[in-house]
A and B are shown apart, each in its own frame.
Chain A
Amino acid sequence: MSQIVVNDLHKDFYVNVSKGSGVTGMVKSLFSREKKTVEAVKGLDFKIEEGEMVGFLGPNGAGKSTTIKMLTGILTPSNGEISVCGLTPCKKRQQNAKNIGVVFGQRTQLWWDLPVKESFLLLKKMYEIETGTYEDNIAYFTDLLDMEDFLDRPVRQLSLGQRMRCDLAAAFLHNPKIIYLDEPTIGLDITSKKRIRECIKETNRKRKTTIILTTHDMADVEQLADRVMVINHGKMVYDGDMAGLQQQYRRSRNVVFTLKDSRVAFTGFRMDNQRIEWQQRAEELILKVPASVSAGEMISLVMAQYPVEDVRIEETPIEDIIEEIYNQ
């Protein structure tokens, strides 16, 4: 059986509708309240195998965090079933907690006024980590995340990058089978991002830890995720690998020619009865090729008629593809 199995998952929230603004609105809503149901997650189905690295994408408010919170047992689903390592998270919360590690990029789980080292020691007791395992892990992550310099400092004195590294190490300390990362690189500089990505990748490779991450940084996804799940309005819109995502949603790509002579004027042409959009700036000629048209054929056609120095194909950036899906 798969490590994570989700069947027809739903989550509804009830929100109070405020009646008008200002003092009258306040008084009105104090005495009679109208409730509105918001469906945050509407029927998700998926399976995740041990050792997979899954990127969980979606615009703000799509239901990503809600789904993660149901997977971790924080929230109780309105409907549907979840099984994580054979357990129902919201019913066996404590047992489930030992199997998982969670990092919230926007909020630390370490103790604010406590030196990092002591937070780790508390986690050791809390998760009943064997001393040997604990020491190995501390040494491993201190080295991998370069934490030596600030282990003695209280969390409130750490920079965001340092804090995130500590949070990441804390989540891994008890050798969890699954790690959930909710925007682990938010607000970090390039170096910190890199270090965190490397740590995640390395640990996945060495320990077969399943990684599930939500992010808005496409570089995270490209470097970390073998598989992406895109949700929008609480529904799954894509589940598969990155290449498939590009293929399925790619509308066009740009073919850029460098002409030998800037005085040559391009006159445009049609292919398969489609007019090809184009643009010429001095010797640079850009043709927007629809996904249905073969780029190879088009290149040979252009090269037969014009003096071409150089050709390159620009794939649609993944950001644009994702934006396209989000706007649907």
Chain B
Amino acid sequence: MAVRKFFSLYGAMLLKNMRESTAYKFDFILGILAHLLIQASSLLLVMTVYTHTDSMGGFTFEQSLILYGCSLLATGIEEFFLHNVWSISRHVNMGTLDSVLLRPVKPILMLVMDGTSIHGFILGICGVVCLIVGFAQGGISFGGWKCLWLILCSVSGAFIIFSITLIMETLAFWFTDVVNAVVMVDNLRQFVRYPITIYQPFIRNILIFIIPYSFTSFFPAALMLDMEEYSYYAYFTPLIALSMVIIASLFFQFGLKFYHSSGGGQ
């Protein structure tokens, strides 16, 4: 499918997704309020920690705010554009992957296009607010170069989160119900909302080399904060994202062969 046609379809599907998310108004408004509350309480937790100490793992409050903002931005992009990857295990379990496989579009693209979490938008905005406050209050320099890398790293971060979730969700082709495992791995992302310098090397290495969530927040933040010790890692973020997307997609393609749908009763 030509790139132009893909984006035309993607746009139409995104519009459809927005319509679907706002179809039930009460649910929509309640969802927004709930997400704002969750963000506020997480932020409150960070603020509470800093009433007891001036520095956490070498990060001041403003620096932590930037770290938190980077994490939210990547999460927000993932939730808004790529979040439907979470539906794979449900589709496999219920046999509804059938209709996805009947479309003349690559199954993984079809899946990603077919849903959005509009709350990603809220997360993104919260992230931007955290970043603005962090940069302004902390007196940290910001410019075109950093802006470019912030965007690049956030998008890459979103794709890293997406790829890890895709790999976990693909396990559903063999184990049918994998929601708990996916949630467990995804919860590791809670760790990277704080400087990974505060963790034991063991956990730190897992978050860098095995499940590289630290590239969705810590390393981009280090680049924003001119922390020379870690900022070099950030330049690898797009490369890591790209290779993870390729690995995850191939794994998903392989898993498709093992899809066994559901019985005739459906």
**Which A residues form the contact surface with B (CB < 8 A)?**
13, 60-61, 64-65, 69, 72-76, 90, 93-95, 97-98, 100, 102, 104, 106-107, 109, 111-114, 118, 121-122, 125-128, 154, 182
Contact = CB atoms under 8 A, between A and B. Distances in A.
B23 interface: yes
A111 B16 contact: yes
Nearest to B262: A65
B104 A127 contact: yes
Interface string B1-16: 1000100110011001
A94 B103 CA distance: 7
B35 interface: no
Contact of B102 (A109, A114, A118, A121): A109
B20 A114 contact: yes
B101 A73 contact: yes
Interface in B113-144: none
B266 A107 contact: yes
B64 to A, nearest CB: 40
B101 to A, nearest CB: 5
Contacts of A61: 263-264
Nearest to A94: B104
A118 B16 contact: yes
Chain A CB within 10 A, most for which of B96, B102, B105, B106: B102
Interface in B12-44: 12-13, 16, 19-20, 23
A100 B265 CA distance: 22
A64 B264 contact: yes
Interface in B243-266: 256-257, 259-261, 263-266
B51 interface: no
A178 to B, nearest CB: 12
Contacts of A95: 104
A186 B257 CA distance: 30
Please list the 3 inter-chain residue pairs (A to B) with the smallest Cβ-Cβ separation, ordered nearest first: A97-B104, A65-B264, A113-B23
Interface of B: 1, 5, 8-9, 12-13, 16, 19-20, 23, 96-99, 101-107, 256-257, 259-261, 263-266
26 contacts: A13-B260, A60-B264, A61-B263, A65-B264, A72-B101, A74-B102, A76-B256, A76-B257, A76-B259, A93-B101, A97-B102, A97-B103, A104-B266, A106-B265, A111-B16, A112-B20, A114-B16, A114-B19, A114-B20, A118-B16, A122-B9, A122-B12, A122-B13, A126-B9, A126-B105, A182-B264
Contacts of A104: 98-99, 266
A126 B100 CA distance: 12
Contact of B20 (A72, A102, A113): A113
Given A113-B20, A113-B23, A122-B12, A69 B103 contact: no
Nearest to B21: A113
Given A60-B265, A125-B5, 17 more contacts: A72-B101, A74-B259, A75-B259, A76-B256, A76-B257, A76-B259, A93-B107, A97-B102, A97-B104, A98-B104, A109-B99, A118-B19, A122-B12, A126-B105, A127-B104, A128-B5, A128-B104
A127 B266 CA distance: 26
Contacts of A121: 12
A151 to B, nearest CB: 16
Contacts of B106: 94
Contact of B105 (A60, A76, A94): A94
Contact of B101 (A74, A128, A182): A74
Nearest to A174: B104
Chain B CB within 10 A, most for which of A13, A98, A128: A128
B170 to A, nearest CB: 15
Contact of B16 (A13, A65, A76, A122): A122
Given A111-B16, A118-B16, A72 B9 contact: no
A111 B95 CA distance: 16
Chain A CB within 10 A, most for which of B1, B8, B104: B104
A75 B104 contact: no
A102 B102 contact: yes
A109 B91 CA distance: 13
Contacts of B256: 76
Nearest to B260: A13
Given A64-B264, A106-B266, A125-B9, A72 B102 contact: yes
A94 B106 CA distance: 7
Contacts of A100: 102
A94 to B, nearest CB: 5
Contacts of B259: 74-76
A90 B257 CA distance: 8
A69 B262 CA distance: 10
Contacts of A109: 99, 102
A169 to B, nearest CB: 16
B264 A126 contact: no
Contacts of B5: 125, 128
Contacts of A93: 101, 107
Contacts of A127: 104
A73 B97 CA distance: 12
Contacts of A64: 264
A107 B96 contact: yes
A270 B71 CA distance: 92
A69 B23 contact: no
A175 to B, nearest CB: 13
Given A97-B104, A126-B103, A127-B104, A111 B20 contact: yes
A63 to B, nearest CB: 9
